[in-house]
Structure 1
Amino acid sequence: MTPDIAARFARIALGHLTREYPHKLDHVLTGDADAETPRALHPIFFGSFDWHSCVHGYWMILTLLHRFPDMAGGEAVAALADTMLTPDKVAAEVAYVARPSSAGFERPYGWAWALALHGAAARHEGRGWGAALEPLARAFADRFTAFLPKQTYPIRTGTHFNTAFALILALDWAETHDAALAALIRSRATDYYATDRDCPAWEPGGDEFLSGALCEALLMRRVLGAAEGRAWFAAFLPRLGEGQPATLLTPAFVSDRTDGKIAHLDGLNLSRAWCWRGLADWLPEGMAGEVAERHLAAALPHVAGDYMGEHWLATFATLALSSY
């Protein structure tokens, strides 16, 4: 990541975060008051096609601003955050989440990104963004705390419902902000994945933007100790040194970037690059970098160009280009 790339990603996001998009209804209509415009329902997260893309768009620009405070366009990022990340607007977002009909809203992908956004905002000391967002983060932390004990099985599909990806982001936040939730995540991750062996990695599916196999491995790298983790990984992907499963080493082909579901595969390539880099110390020397670069080369040229990818891909490029 360089300041020029960071500024480019921020420019992409700023245009979409402030554009109200008549996105699909992702909530239950319980009365006329629910049939409002996105901006009325979500005074902060009304852009970028859908709620979660708007949330992680804010995460991205605050993350880039923290890393490159003097980047071109940084003043515009700070001005937007000052305008949008305010206690009154956060209170409206919390009120939406608190509705009885919103119990499953954005579970678990949006929950996890909301925690990540608060973590990014809190790193900007003295700005007030973290303090403003804390009630929303606490609302979603409470949801994780209530939900994880009753989620008997992990969801392994490589879309928004993936359990491992959400737990990676939530654990990153909880280790700083909620020790009890961090302990619960570690416990449930062990319950879900500790006995997994010989992963076939039947991926990608036609609309996946996450690698079920690699997200699981990256989560377990965070959860297990060094020796235990290496042993688990060796059993989970026992033939990786032989180039198997080849599906994990080969970038996904994207046939139509104007199709919102097929465009997810660019995100798969970026999220795989992020995972490979995060797993580097469990792999033969040089392997992670080589495979990650292959996936980056397939996806980075397409971060911008068509709205179906442009409204969210820069977030995953930021993950992939940042040190884990």
Structure 2
Amino acid sequence: MTEAFAEGLAGIALGHVTREYPNKLDHVLAGPGDLRGPRDLHPVFFGSFDWHSCVHAHWLLARLLRRFPGLPAAPAIRALFDGLYAGEAIAAERAYFARPGAGGFERPYGWAWLLALAAELADRPWGAALAPLAGDVAERFRVWLPRATYPVRAGTHASSAFALAMAMPHAAAQDPALLRLLRERALAWYGADADCQAWEPGGEDFLSPALMEAEAMRRLLPAAVFAPWLDRFLPRLAAGEPATLFTPAVVSDRTDGRIVHLDGLNLSRAWCWRALAGGWGPGDPRRARAEAAAARHLAASLPHLAGHYMGEHWLASFALLALEA
């Protein structure tokens, strides 16, 4: 990824994180007094259409700032974070989570992105401000995961595998008890899975249920345990099967907020394929197939990060995941 491309990603995100989208009504309403504007409800994460998209736009900006500290957009990113990551604003975000009836707010997708952002900011000045909210969200994971008897095998926000994968870096660095719990749930949910048929894509998927599960297990299991698990889970990868995992999804209407999810599917598949490919040696036919599939998926959707708000407010984060894998 070049600095020029990174500047383009930063420009997309900066254009949305401070914009209050008028249809953003994903919050919990306990009474008439709760019908307020996004910035009033969420003084840190009020932009980008919905709370979770704003969180991962912050992650994108923080990640780009780490990779390219001399980026032309870097002063604007620093100024944005300096202004938003203040104790009072974070306290208001925490208070929202603590409200009666908000126990399921953004579970698990927004939770996972919040912990990913916390991991990215942990060694920078803004990380200390975010840490109390990250602690609240980690506690929610600790309460919820033992009660989640079954995984949600979806290609959308409810995906259990995505939540495990994205929460892992924060847990590995800051929360050993949560890391153990993530591993326990991964094995309980997915340890016995074998011969995945990959009935995908669904018409609104932005995650591959099959590849996201594999990526979660790759992150959470020791390599010596993951390799035989993957051989059982996707036993025909060397032959290019299941074929659907190697074929980019067709996006028929990028102005439709649900159909454009399929651009995210292509980008997230590229992310997973590139991450998995790194575990196979140069002579392994799975590596060549995975790298080629990643390239096809990137080519299908990387040119479409901007152009319409329905994709523009969130796709850049998935592009960065894919490009960095």
Q: TM-score range by the shorter chain?
A: over 0.9
Q: Where in structure 2 are the equivalents of 1:256-267 lying within 5 Å?
A: 256-267=253-264
Question: SS of the counterpart of 2:16?
Answer: helix
Residue 132 (str. 1) matches residue 129 (str. 2): yes
TM-score (norm 2): 0.96
Q: Where in structure 2 are the equivalents of 1:1-324 lying within 5 Å?
A: 1-124=1-124, 128-280=125-277, 281-282=279-280, 284-323=286-325
Aligned residue identity for 1:299: S
In 1, distance between residues paired with 2:255 and 2:219?
36
In 2, distance between residues paired with 1:23 and 1:100?
23
In 1, distance between residues paired with 2:23 and 2:139?
27
More deviation, 220-229/166-175: 220-229
The alignment of Structure 1 onto Structure 2 pairs a total of residues equal to 320
In 1, distance between residues paired with 2:287 and 2:270?
16
How many angstroms does 1:288 deviate by?
A: 2.1
Question: SS of the counterpart of 1:16?
Answer: coil
Q: Flag the 1:225–1:121 CA change in 2: closer, same or farther, 3 A.
A: closer
Contact 2:96/2:102 (CA < 8 Å) preserved in 1? Answer: yes
Runs of 4 or more, structure 1, over 4 Å off, are: none
Question: SS of the counterpart of 1:18?
Answer: coil
How many angstroms does 1:301 deviate by?
A: 0.4
Contact 2:112/2:167 (CA < 8 Å) preserved in 1? Answer: yes
Contact 1:66/1:123 (CA < 8 Å) preserved in 2? Answer: no
Contact 1:214/1:276 (CA < 8 Å) preserved in 2? Answer: yes
In 1, distance between residues paired with 2:226 and 2:313?
36
In 2, distance between residues paired with 1:274 and 1:123?
25
Question: SS of the counterpart of 1:170?
Answer: helix
Contact 2:171/2:178 (CA < 8 Å) preserved in 1? Answer: yes
In 1, distance between residues paired with 2:23 and 2:135?
26
Aligned residue identity for 1:33: G
- Residues 178-231 of structure 1 show CA distances to partners (whole Å, capped at 9, x for unaligned) of 010001100110000010011010011010100110011011112222232111
Gaps of 5+ in 1: none
Aligned residue identity for 1:319: L
Aligned residue identity for 1:209: F
Contact 2:56/2:317 (CA < 8 Å) preserved in 1? Answer: yes
Percent identity between the two aligned chains: 60
In 1, distance between residues paired with 2:258 and 2:227?
35
In 2, distance between residues paired with 1:227 and 1:130?
34
Question: SS of the counterpart of 1:155?
Answer: coil
TM-score (norm 1): 0.97
Cα RMSD of the aligned pairs, angstroms, is 1.0
How many angstroms does 1:239 deviate by?
A: 1.3
Aligned residue identity for 2:10: A
In 2, distance between residues paired with 1:30 and 1:190?
37
Aligned residue identity for 1:214: L
Contact 2:115/2:138 (CA < 8 Å) preserved in 1? Answer: yes
Question: SS of the counterpart of 1:285?
Answer: helix
In 1, distance between residues paired with 2:116 and 2:137?
11
Gaps of 5+ in 2: none
Contact 2:46/2:54 (CA < 8 Å) preserved in 1? Answer: yes
In 1, distance between residues paired with 2:43 and 2:175?
27
In 1, distance between residues paired with 2:112 and 2:99?
19
